[in-house]
Each structure stands twice: as structure tokens, then as C-alpha cells.
Chain A
Amino acid sequence: MKIFLLFFMLAAHAELKVVTTTADLEALVTAVAGGKVKIDAIARGTQDPHSIEAKPSFMVKMRNADLVIAHGLELEAAWVVPLIQGSRNPKLAVGGKGFLELGDKLDPIEIPKGGVTRAEGDVHPGGNPHFTLDPLRLGKAAGLVAERLGELDTANRELFKKNAAVFHNRLAEKTKDWKTRLEKTKIKQIVTYHKTLNYFLDRFGIQNPIQLEPRPGIPPTAAHLMEVVETMKKNQVRLVLVENLYDAKAGEKVIGDVPGAKVARVPVSVGGEPEIKTNEQLLEKLVKTIEENSH
């Protein structure tokens, strides 16, 4: 009997196991969890989260997980459900406490009006899912993560809430600094490859008038790149940021036709470059890249 009691006591205090779909969310949970949670991520920072292959080894990661945290808004739709099904872990069923999608709770941008079809490319009907590049939404996401972790591990609930508040306040403070620095660059418009950076640009009042890909998920065509060149000339856009998931050739081709324009490859996820370990470091890298290419 004592052995059983000991077993149940140990089980009750077992460390929570969380699997996140991306490295951005892994970094976020790490900040909130304060060392009280075992965290694993599926997509690495150099991988395109839209098209991760549902490797069975990921199912093994999820087999004993208490919680899977995803961006949602159909970013991982093609692979997260097969992984959860393959894990055969009843804790992770949709609608239960073991599965948390954050995107739809964070006031998503670019929600298509009316019906969407695949003729428009890889459009997300619920809105743009790349919210982790907005420091303020990331702060709010920390609160949501803390709330769910607290439900699953009540003993550490207050710690999670405190860590989330610290994370939120830190990013809010940094946002003021980043805003000031980006305003000094006087850059008002930037062209990107995909709409990955739109939350970041939107937060700091920078527009993204056109992307290198003609439609989401469709590779650049010569005709479309001519349109990009025309738009850049017309709007006096002088900077192209190519997310380092994509080939930079299209960006290099475009700036060759726009006098004074520059192109830079940027990481768009934690781990996108080896030295980027936290969400703050990633956002700092983006700000710095824009600063360095604004002259």
C-alpha cells in the first residue's frame, strides 16, 4: 500500500511534459515555465513550419506529453493532427486541456473577407498565423500559456503567472525601445518573400506593400518580380527582407533593378541562426538588420 501511495505521490509531482510545434513557442514556454516543465519542439528555426513532415519520431515525442502548444490558424494543420493521432496519447485530444492553439486568441491580422479558395494560394482562413514576431502578442501568449500550465500543474500556478508577467513586461518595455530605433531609420515600407513578418512590421508601423511570392506558397515568377520592381520604384521601397527559409535569389534579382535598394536575409524563428536562443534576441536581430540596412 505504501508503495502505491509513494507511486501516486510521485506521479502527482511529476514534471509536466510540453511539446511545442515551433522553436518560437518552445522559447516562450521556457520563459514561462521557469525550469518546472520539460519542453520539446517539433519544427526547428530554419524550417518552414507550413510544411513539416509528420515524422513518426515526433509521435514518440508526443507519446508522453501532457500538453501540445501550437500556433493554430492552420499553420500546422497538415502535420500536427497526424502527429497527435499517431502518438496515441489520449491527453492530447482536441477540445481537451492537452492541446492549446494560441493564434485565434490573439486578435489575428489579415483575416480574409468572404470565402477563400486555393486559387489565392496557401491562404489561412483564420488569419495570419505568424504572431510570434509581434512582441506584444507574444506577451499576451505568455499569459495564455501560464494559465494552461497552471491548470495542469496547480502547485506551480503562481510561478507560471509571475514568469509570464515578467516576460510580458520585458517585451512591452523593449517594444518602446525598438519602436524608437525603427522610427529613426525612417523606413516606412519593406518587401518580404512571404507574409511571415507582417505582425512585426504592423507593430512598428511599417507597411509590406508586396511580397516576392505572387501568392502565399507559390514561388516567384518573372512577371511577378517585375511587378515587385515597379511597386518598389513607385513607393520608394529600399529594403527587401528575405526570410531565411527561402532562397534569396529572387530578392537579389529585384534589387538589381531598383537603384539604392538592399536585400538582407533574416531569421524568422528562434534558432533561425545559431546564436538566437530567445524570442527577444530574435526580435532584436530583426530591428538591428533594418537599422543596418537603412542607410
Chain B
Amino acid sequence: MQLSCIPEGPLKIILILTALLFGPALTFAQSNSLKSPNISADALFLYRQSNFSKEDFEDSSPRNGLDLQEAELAFYADVDPYSRLNLLLSVHPDYEYLAATHRIKQTWGVEPEELFVESGHVAGVTLRLGKFKAAFGKHGLLHTHAYPFVDAPLINSSLLGAEGLNDVGASAAVLIPLSWYSELTLQYLRGEGENYEFHSPTPGDGVGVGHWKNLWDLCDSTTVEVGASYARGNNDLGGVTTLSGGDLTFKWRPLSGGRYRSGILAFEYIDRAQQQLGAGTERGAGLSSWVQFQFAERWTAKLRYETLKVTGSDAGVNTEHSLANALSAKTTAALQFDATEFSFFRLEYERLHGPAQSNGLANENKIYLQANFTIGAHPAHSY
């Protein structure tokens, strides 16, 4: 752009700023065709056997037997030199409990799990606009097929909702100029997503989310990641929901023999304070900790222990959205076989001790057999 011929003044300043913002774009072509974006499909199949039947929950929990847990269709490509677009469609079964007949009705849903435009127009910053998983915590950013275990941790499924924090909004992630990896993400969500935790009945009530992620190389084979998260917004119970969280992850993969050995040790803590009109503040907090060890090229063993404590709940006021006052604990053990990087099989056992369900039982024992298959150009998962 030739700016020397433009007279001094606001117009020149605007043009210079425009050139700075839109000149050095950061987009990345991967698809070899301009006519089609990168496309991938992922299918998760699940066999479940639990001492709780579907009817014991009267909600959307998976049922015993074989099912298609979820399928994902992902499309992504550069829009132009300035931005790239990501679309992730989720195909999943929905269950409806029919009280009159005491039966479960299954339907199928297709919805945009994520649909956003991302840009690296400004050096050091990634800007995002659209519907996306909010940058709260570590597990909450994962798609279902990237979960280390079949289920999300208790703290995620109970405190952030079945779908996690996912809403339409804007995001800016800044790489702070420090000698280690330090990323600060600030997000504004409209507060009208699928989560009652942040679904204000008043239009315009937004949700603020902040996430600070730091990672250090302890040595060439080992990293430690420390993250802190915070979110605050109005809920649909007439009050304010505040979320705070922290995560700590150690990863190890030796420089020599890293194809055959690796390990992960991870902890995540989430605390939710949820004001409820006429019922005080419900407090839920818990810790999820898990360890994973790859003992052969294709084999990995995993173990998870997690707790969740809920206090101050008045389930009589908001029966739909209140958790029961209780201390829950869950232990999970899994064995995973990765045939290739595009398919895996997982055998998992879970034991959950929590509040008694409608069948009167407080202990649930589950066995899962899960299989995952991916085709096409799937976007890379974050480290």
C-alpha cells in the first residue's frame, strides 16, 4: 500500500492501522484444494453395562448396551489471507424419559458443537468469534473422542453441565512475552448457551471468562503445565454463578524410546458458587486426578480418582438445577489400545459412590467398551 501520497490526518492513521492489522496475516492452508475445506469424521461407539438401568436416572445418561455415543464432522480451512473457519458438527443420541409408560425414547440430534472464525491478524494474539468451548480449565476444552476416559470428570459433568461451557462469544488469547509459554485468554460469552449455570433470563447479561495457562519444560522429556481459570455471570436461577479452577499437568516422554513409553499425571480443581433466588448459595467443589502410563507402543493404562462435594443446596426450590448435598467419589481404571493414531479401543471400569438414586442405590458400577475411528484431515489436538 502506497501511503506517501495520502495527506496527513485521521485518514492516514486509519489506513496505517488497517495495513498493520490486515497486512501480516497468519493463516495456514492445509487442504490441497481451494474448492473444498479439510474434512474429517469421527465415530465413537460405546458398550455400557451398569448396575443402574437407564430408568434409574430419568435423564439423558447413556443406557446399557451398545450405542453410537457420538459422531463428529469437522470442516476447517482458510477463509482468505486474514482468517480461518472451523465448523464441528456433533451427531448424538438424545434420550427422553416417558414417565407415563416408564420407557425411554431415543432420538438423534445434530448440532454445531463449535463454529468459529479465528485470526492471527495481530502479532501475539489469536482472536476468535463464534460458538466455541469456553477456555475454562483443561478438560473442558476437549472434544469427546479426546477425553482420556469415557466420561468427563465429575467436576465437569456436575458443575459445568453435560455439554460443558459452550456458548457464542468473542475471545482473545495473548501469548505473553515471557521466557516460558504463558497464554492469557479473555472471553466474553453472551450467556445464552446450553448451560443453566450461565443462562440469564435477562438479555444482555454476559459471562466473563479468563484463563491463564503456563507451561515449562522441566527437561527435554518432561513438561509441567499450570493453569488458572475464572468465570462469572448471571444464571437462570435468579442469581450469579461464579466458577474458579486450577489445573496442574505433568507430561513425560523420553527423547529416546518415546514411541514406547510416556506418562501423564494430571490434577484439576473446580469450585462453583451458585446463587439461587430464595435458596441461598449452592457450593460445589471437587478434584479430579488421573495418571496415565504408556507401557508399549500401542498400549496405555490409566487410573483416575475424583471427588465432588456439594453443600448449601436446597433441592426443594430448584429441583431441576440443584445438586444433592453429598460427597461423591469416583474411581476409574482403563486400558487403551491404539491401533493407529486414527483408531483406539478402550476397556474401562468405573465405581461411583454418590447420593442415592431413584432405585435407592448409592454405588454404581459400570463397565465400558469404547471404540473410536477417525477418517479425513482431523484438526490437531492441543498438547
Contacts and interface: CB of A to CB of B under 8 A. Distances in A.
Nearest to B121: A90
Contacts of B125: 88
A73 to B, nearest CB: 13
Given A55-B217, A219-B298, A89 B26 contact: yes
A118 interface: yes
Nearest to A121: B340
A60 B120 CA distance: 15
Nearest to A271: B255
Interface residues of B, number: 43
A48 B175 contact: no
Interface stretch (A27-35, A77-85, A164-172, A233-241): A77-85
A55 B259 contact: no
B223 interface: yes
Residue of B27, B28, B223, B225 most packed against chain A (CB within 10 A): B28
A95 B223 contact: no
Given A53-B383, A57-B180, A82-B382, A93 B217 contact: no
A87 interface: yes
B215 A57 contact: yes
Contact of A56 (B124, B215, B253, B258): B215
A55 B223 contact: yes
B19 interface: no
B contact face: mostly helix, strand, loop, or mixed: loop
A109 B179 CA distance: 41
Interface size class of chain A, counting residues whose CB lies under 8 Å from the partner chain: 35 or more
B72 interface: no
A57 B181 contact: yes
Given A88-B26, A92-B26, A95-B29, A56 B183 contact: yes
A57 B217 contact: yes
Contact of B380 (A48, A54, A88, A118): A54
Interface in A42-66: 44, 46-48, 51, 53-57, 59-60, 63
Residue of B25, B126, B177, B340 most packed against chain A (CB within 10 A): B340
B318 interface: no
Given A59-B181, A85-B120, A92-B26, A79 B253 contact: no
A46 B255 contact: yes
A242 B179 CA distance: 38
A47 B257 CA distance: 8
Given A44-B220, A60-B180, A246 B259 contact: yes
Interface in A82-107: 82, 84-95
Contacts of B179: 60
A23 to B, nearest CB: 11
Contacts of A122: 340
8 contacts: A63-B124, A63-B175, A63-B177, A81-B28, A81-B30, A88-B125, A89-B26, A93-B81
Given A54-B382, A60-B175, A86-B175, 15 more contacts: A46-B256, A47-B258, A48-B259, A51-B341, A56-B183, A57-B215, A57-B217, A79-B380, A81-B28, A93-B27, A118-B342, A118-B375, A217-B340, A219-B298, A247-B259
